[in-house]
Structures are given as structure tokens and as C-alpha cells.
Amino acid sequence: MSTATPQTIDLSKYIEVRDGRANVRGRRLPVAFIAVAERERQLSIAELAYDFTLSEEQVLAALLYYREHKEVIDAQDAADAAESDEMHRKYGGKMPGQS
């Protein structure tokens, strides 16, 4: 008897989409932050869990979600970075309305 491997895993226990952004459920912690920390700082699952005060299951779910939605999340981050650069160029680090 063979058991079938599911084609998709329901990550909704760990991940929620709020305002079009994937976050760890119950936290305002974007999945992208965890993925960037893993990639740039080369942290282990345990180190990521410690740094973000998450369970290892939450970290694994976030990383899996990121891998499944990488193009969308990376595009959102690139758009955010471009907008931030434009604001900095326009206002020189000052918030609009400040003198």
C-alpha cells in the first residue's frame, strides 16, 4: 500500500495574508523578513526561530510559503525598495510635511 504525498500543504495555520502581504499568523512579521534573514545571514531554522521568537514550525512554514510565492514576494519587496528610494530622493530623509 502506498501513501500519496500531498501536492500542496495548507499553511494557513501559520501564515496569513494581510493587506496583500504574507505574515506569520498572529504577528505583524512579514514572511519576506524571515526569508531575507535566512538568505543573507545564512541562519539555521533554530537560529531564525530564536531571532524572531517563533517556533521552528512557524519558521519552516514561512520559508515554504516564501518558496512557493517567491516571485510575488520579491516583486513586492522591489516595489517597496523603489518607493523608499524615491521618497528619500525627494525628501532627503525628511517625512513629507516636515521642514
Question: Which residue has better confidence, 59 or 3?
Answer: 59
Instruction: Please tell me the predicted confidence (pLDDT) of residue 6.
Output: 59
Q: How much is the average pLDDT of 28-40? A: 95
Q: Where are the domains of the chain?
A: 15-91
pLDDT tens, 38-97?
999 999 999 999 999 999 999 999 999 999 999 999 999 999 889 988 888 888 766 556
pLDDT given for residue 92 in this prediction: 79
Per-residue pLDDT band at 21 (split at 50, 70, 90): very high
Average pLDDT in the 14-39 region? 95
Return the CATH number of the domain spanning residue range 15-91: 1.10.10.10
Evaluate if residue 5 carries a pLDDT over 80: no
Alpha helices in the chain (DSSP H): 31-41, 45-52, 56-68, 70-91
Dist. CA 57–CA 46, nearest whole Å = 10
User: In the numeric block, which cell numbers belong to residue 45?
Assistant: 531554522
Q: What is the rounded CA–CA span in Å between residue 1 and residue 53?
A: 41
Residues 34/77, Cβ–Cβ less than 8 Å: no
Dihedral sign (CA 41, 42, 45, 47): negative
Q: How far is CA 42 from the centre of its chain?
A: 15
